[in-house]
Chains A and B, each alone.
Chain A
Amino acid sequence: MKYIINREQLLVPLQQIVSVIEKRQTMPILSNVLMVFRENTLVMTGTDLEVQIVTEIAIENTTFAEITLPARKFLDICRLLPTGADIKLEVADDKVKVLSGRSRFILSTLPAENYPEFSETELDHRFTINAGLFKKALEKTVFCMASQDVRYYLNGLLLNISNSRIKLVASDGHRLSVFEDNLANPAGYEARIILPRKGVMELVRLLDDPQIQLAIEFSSNNIRVTINNTIFSAKLVDAKYPDFNRVFHQDFLTPIHIQRQLLKDALTRVAILSNEKYKGVTFDLSSDSLKISAHNPEHEEAEEEIVTDYVGEPLSIAFNVQYVLDAISNIDSEISELTIASNSSCCIIDEPETRSYRFIVMPMRL
């Protein structure tokens, strides 16, 4: 059996699939991409059994066949062939010939019938959302997700649907990010699920067209997102996300407003002389002025002073400078607003007006 596919059709879907495939596999077949040829379509699948991507591309009149190919090697071959090249696959027994121009490769295959099924329970919840909005929601939150935290539910993203409201929350305990917006089409239910970190990172990559509508379906175990001809599936984190709302329900001082870029530049400079491991910087607030300072074990010191609109008692609070910088960098407005809890227990960083996202940075003990 012979199939001809254009390199440009194959490249992006194959890259998305390879991204899901783990480098080290417990089952050899999981290093392979499953390719199912049907009439006029080729369906490709890649999975690590936690996350799966299935994508369909149109090809001309084909006979049915199912094969699996070493995904990374196949991608590398396609990637390095010239732009616009036609790639011919010839299937024979346990080998597949890949031919293009004067290039010839023979790849090993594993029987497609051994490719594992991605188990899913019935997806009984559904909502639709604009891809651009969903991507923004993810980008404003994912950077706060924990990685490899023993509190495994923090290595993920909370998705909370409350009829016409969508809320995404991520936190590694040191900082927290909340994104909230309205759904154009009310979902008609209330649900909370936790998406696994790896799945979230892959999903962000798939949302490159901001115009389209996404159909998102989920159960208590699985989520499936349909993006044009691509279906993303992931197993959910089986846990309850911890309550974080109390951080907002406390007394706060009057907010301080600072030019975002000015604050970012000052923090970046001060960071140079902060402790390399703990990255602590001290904020000394007094009326009209914010002094940011740092010192390191070599007794070197940095200090920056910024004029602010703060009114109130003088106050000192310390933060990991990287956490503040991450938050500031994710603000879209020119002015950033910093609101510190009156007992210095946390700082909220957000935009002065629109409140679709807010970042919390927890302090360090002085």
Chain B
Amino acid sequence: MEAARKIIHIDMDAFFAAVEQRDFPQYRNKPLIVGGLPGSRGVVSTCSYEARQYGIHSAMPSTTAHRLCPHAIFVKPRFEAYREASNSIRKIFADYTDLFEPLSLDEAYLDVSQCNRCKGSATLIAKDIKEKIKQQTGLTASAGVSYNKFLAKIASDLDKPDGLYLITPDNGPGFIETLPIGKFHGIGKATEKRMHDLGIFTGADLKTMPLASLQDYFGKAGLHYYHICRGIDNRPVNHQRITKSIGVEVTFQEDLDNRETLLIQLQNLLNKALGKAKEKKLAAYTLTIKIKYSDFVQITRSRTLSKAITENLNALPLLDDLLKTAPTERRKVRLLGVALSSLASPSCNRQIDLFEQFQ
């Protein structure tokens, strides 16, 4: 039998808020909210543990957060500072293994199966990493240690903040059985409700479902659910995380209903997305627009082109076309988004274009 892998999931504690409290002592020990300001349409990006006591959590509208805790301090995010801290953390990871997969600025998986430091003990490595993070950035992290990504991620959440939790191959399956279905990573609110409707409330309930019915109810994800409730998750830790899509969106201060304005906004968003694609040296072939109306109904429209979408192309007719297929008459728009996908490295497609070559 193959030896079990050793996977660590590192999750920074209230990352954005912690960076703010580190850099500005006046915020320390106070309910602090990083994100949109109250009165705006922004949402809470991260909040300090002091703020969480009031029931505030991320993705909550800032206005609601303000109502829950009127004396909370609201600040706008400073991404430069977070990126810098994030880079320091990634450098620490690299000391232990090449196999680490950042999920976002404040979260990463590490595969330390081949790491010989700390006598090869994953728990000691996780402890070591947490200490180094504390020393070098002044921030705390929580670590989950287990034999696959799914369990490592769940483990990191169990002892927060500044926690360390181990789920061994022996106690993994038993642990999953008692886990409420909503705690499974990848099962969101909608799926949780469908599972409840099917009488599935815990990992043990999920385990009683035959594979075929899970696939019937949940399609492709069915197989994944079938595996994870048995503690099986063979997804590797990818160091080179492949960017699948690049998206930008904007929520307007006031709902828009003018078609021309919508088009200009889409053009701006597309330019931003193209800028990001260029930074990552990727060419995109699919363009998707997202519209959220004032009643929160959301639609997307997309088109795939034979040629890469670049800044040189006049994308206005394309955006106009996509917008035409979305109802905009007598409907107010709250949010617009643009996403680029079907990404490829431009060097793969070496086809020369006649009009670019001869003009």
Measured CB to CB, the residues of A under 8 A from B are 146-152, 171-176, 242-244, 246-247, 277-278, 280, 318, 320, 345-346, 360, 362-366
Contacts and interface: CB of A to CB of B under 8 A. Distances in A.
B140 to A, nearest CB: 45
B305 A247 contact: no
Contact of A147 (B306, B317, B351, B354): B306
Given A278-B351, A364-B350, A243 B306 contact: no
Nearest to B324: A26
Interface string B310-331: 0001110110000000000000
Contact of A176 (B304, B315, B354, B359): B354
B191 to A, nearest CB: 30
Given A173-B354, A173-B355, A345-B357, A148 B349 contact: no
A345 B357 CA distance: 8
B348 interface: yes
- B interface: dominant SS: mixed
A211 B309 CA distance: 44
B358 A244 contact: yes
Contacts of A320: 351
Interface residues of B, number: 23
B97 to A, nearest CB: 28
B1 interface: no
Interface in B289-320: 303-307, 309, 313-315, 317-318
Given A174-B351, A174-B354, A362-B354, A150 B309 contact: yes
Nearest to B356: A173
B315 A150 contact: yes
B318 A364 contact: no
Interface of B: 303-307, 309, 313-315, 317-318, 348-359
Contacts of B309: 150
B139 to A, nearest CB: 43
Contacts of B304: 148
A362 B351 CA distance: 7
A172 B353 CA distance: 9
Given A150-B313, A150-B314, A152-B317, A247 B307 contact: no
* Closest A-B pairs by Cβ, 6 of them: A365-B350, A173-B353, A150-B313, A246-B358, A364-B350, A152-B317
B354 A150 contact: no
A278 to B, nearest CB: 6
Contacts of B306: 146-149, 172
A278 B347 CA distance: 11
A320 to B, nearest CB: 6
Given A172-B306, A173-B307, A244-B358, A151 B351 contact: no
Contacts of B352: 345, 362-365
B81 to A, nearest CB: 38
A320 B315 CA distance: 26
Nearest to B310: A150
A95 B269 CA distance: 49
